[in-house]
Structure 1
Amino acid sequence: MKRAFTLTVAFVLSCGVVVGAAVAYDLLPAPGGDLAPTPEDRTYPVRFVDFVDERTLPLAPTFSEGSELRAAASGTVTSSACVPGHALVSGKAAFAVDGNPVVALSTDVPFYRDLRWGDTGPDVDSLRRALAVLGYSVDASGGFSRDVFEALSAIQDSDGLAFDDGGFHLTDFLWVPAGAAAVAICEAKVGQRYMPESTFATTSSILTALSLVSDEAEQVVPGDRRLQVFGVDAVMPESGVLSDPEALARIAAAPEGKGELRGNGDEEAAPISGTSQLVTPLRVAPVPAASVFDVRGSQGCVASESESYPVTVVGAKLGMSQVTFDGDSPSKILLRPDAETCRAP
């Protein structure tokens, strides 16, 4: 009985302490000085940082159809350097007919005639560029002159071509389109009769472009972008289409892309992905997303204590909107602005 009475008294006393503390707290004065709310609690500082819009992009490959390689030579095929999966080497014999080598020559303009001293035209300029790539001292443009004659004479001597007069003869060469891919099919076999302009080999399709998928193109920040695909670095122009033949050739040849890059020029290829960021960073101000109002697409507004400012939202991360100001910018903005609009309807 005594123990029960003691517990009851203790319970009553504890309740009195709690109630008394609550009453005492309500009677305390409101905090002042440093504990009082300040205007800064309602504002956020505007500080600018570099923004590169780093993101992974879906890219749609475009392939050209394979090329049929044809030569003007005729006779029995006595040797061939054609191997499926391997590219023909410009400046080297692709095959031989009746024991006479036919040299592969990669140019951007197809050959359609024999060339001799004094000839001019796009095909002569194209021949000059091809010879220069092979290491001969030849200017990139001009007529058929001594420098071209000497380069062709050197090729005729070293490869043992049918002609040794320093001229360009269609029967001595196999035109290979510039940037042609590896051979897919070798048509002319050793021992077979080869007829002029029949197909010697067919090349594989060539990667001719990587384009930003249209839905993603609407979301990226405009500007040239550093792109990395299968470990290969390139620069994608603001248009969103990478068409640089050299960069595309390196991407197509990357070991990481084997099995992922497929196309034959007739059907749409499956998209691939690449990482990217802006070449030239934007100066943006990260602000709390709740401080941006009157948002219409990528356009919106923020407000200071005295006025509103139009902004463009270029990105978002962890609850912060990355904005650029269309004009002047304030030093601070309201975290929860009361304004509804700052743009004309």
Structure 2
Amino acid sequence: MTFRRAWFLLGAVFAASGLAGCSQSPLVQDAEPAPMVVAVDRQEVTITTFATLELEWSRPEVLWVAASGLVTEVLVQPGYTVPSGSALLNVDGAPLVGLHTPAPFHRALEAGDSGDDVAMLTDALAAAGDLPAETADNTTFTPVVAEAVQQFNQRHNLGNTDSFDPSRIVWLPKRSVVAGQVNLRAGEEVAGRTIGFTLSPELLDARLVGLSRPISDWANTSVILPNGLELPLPEDGLVPANSLTILQEAVDAGVPDLNVRVEKRLGTASLVPVTAVQQSARGDACVYDKHSNVHGAVIVGGEAGIVYISGTSLDEVLANPTALDLANCGGMEVDG
């Protein structure tokens, strides 16, 4: 352990004890109390602090409605998950179906047409189960594709036609999206190219800030959200990508930050009085046993009047060893 690290922890403990105003080292007392042997308590120790989890969200995307007519029913509400192939609303009594493709469709398609948009259509039909997978990515609207389109239209109550009408489709940027805001109401007239829905933003990044100690001191710890959800915290302070989905489901979309609790479980530590801990010339920590023998220790935390140490199995330590002229760890250099 470095001098700065040991001094920081001991200084914090003394500050909590009301001794931080001393002009000399906090390990030197103005009035030397008598040395005494004290029992060492061992406990499972968890260090806790509070910090802020900064959240970065994507810009909300919108779903466009291309149909014209009277909105007779809205089938999606805020918070609904909308998978590709599901109906979002009815216009003039007929559904508008959400469909995921690499890009929106810009023209009607029928038998004999060809182009990249036909390939997009065949891929979507194959994904929906209306077209055999081996015939997907076909750039020509063949009779087989026409039959698949007719099956798709029938299945979604879009009529018995074998042509593809993009005005009955709401393009989805992903195979599944979450509605954040509904922009249309039943009884409202639409006249093509209308924003029908605003999607919930996606959580892109979550970073822990505001720690009182370097993030490296909190590596491999846990972040506890206000609802009790616990997430692992790596050394860089970034919530792992595989935890972002869990985090997004636990918070309100778009919130900029969260006040969280950070916990580091240190395992079993020895709890000794702060007056039992000394420092070597280079800043390493030590304690003395009842026979005045020096033992190296590693400071892992503390609270008012108490220091948490590891690296020693002593059952008893000597408090106030400076009264016996035992200081600076006997001049030894302790490996921390």
After TM superposition, is the score higher than 0.5? yes
- 8 Å contact 1:62–1:210 — kept in the other structure? yes
SS at match of 1:53: strand
Residue 251 of structure 1 aligns with which residue?
A: 250
Residue 9 of structure 1 aligns with which residue?
A: none
Residue 339 of structure 1 aligns with which residue?
A: 327
- 8 Å contact 2:74–2:184 — kept in the other structure? no
CA distance in 1, matches of 2:200, 2:299: 46
CA RMSD of aligned residues (A): 4.8
Residue segments in structure 1 that go unaligned for 5+ positions in a row: 1-38, 146-150, 254-260, 264-268
SS at match of 1:182: strand
Residue 196 of structure 2 aligns with which residue?
A: 200
Between structure 1 and structure 2, the one with the greater Rg is: 1
- 8 Å contact 2:54–2:206 — kept in the other structure? yes
SS at match of 1:65: coil
Q: CA deviation at 1:77?
A: 5.5
CA distance in 2, matches of 1:246, 1:152: 35
1:190-249 CA distance string (max 9 Å, x none): 422113xx64332354554443223346376332315232x2523233243335344223
Residue 224 of structure 2 aligns with which residue?
A: 227
Q: Determine which of 65, 69, 73 is the counterpart of 2:59.
A: 65
Q: Confirm whether residue 89 of structure 1 aligns to residue 75 of structure 2.
A: no
Equivalenced residue count is: 259
Bigger relative contact order (CA 8 A; separation at least 6)? 2
Q: CA deviation at 1:301?
A: 0.5
CA distance in 2, matches of 1:168, 1:225: 52
CA distance in 1, matches of 2:97, 2:302: 58
Q: CA deviation at 1:286?
A: 1.7
Q: CA deviation at 1:288?
A: 1.6
1:254-290 CA distance string (max 9 Å, x none): xxxxxxx764xxxxx3x43234534x65232222222
Residue 12 of structure 1 aligns with which residue?
A: none
Q: Determine which of 272, 275, 281 is the counterpart of 1:290.
A: 275
Q: Percent identity?
A: 15
Q: CA deviation at 1:311?
A: 1.0
1:288-325 CA distance string (max 9 Å, x none): 222333399xx740133333414133x22242122233
- 8 Å contact 1:50–1:284 — kept in the other structure? yes
CA distance in 2, matches of 1:336, 1:179: 65
CA distance in 1, matches of 2:277, 2:135: 65
- 8 Å contact 2:70–2:91 — kept in the other structure? yes
1:18-54 CA distance string (max 9 Å, x none): xxxxxxxxxxxxxxxxxxxxx9934553x54322324
The aligned amino acid for 2:169 is D
- 8 Å contact 2:280–2:286 — kept in the other structure? no
Residue segments in structure 2 that go unaligned for 5+ positions in a row: 1-33, 105-116, 138-147
The aligned amino acid for 1:93 is A
Q: Determine which of 313, 319, 341 is the counterpart of 2:305.
A: 319
My pick for the range that moved more, 62-71 or 205-214, is 205-214
| TM-score, normalisation: structure 1 | 0.55
Residue 27 of structure 2 aligns with which residue?
A: none
The aligned amino acid for 1:50 is E
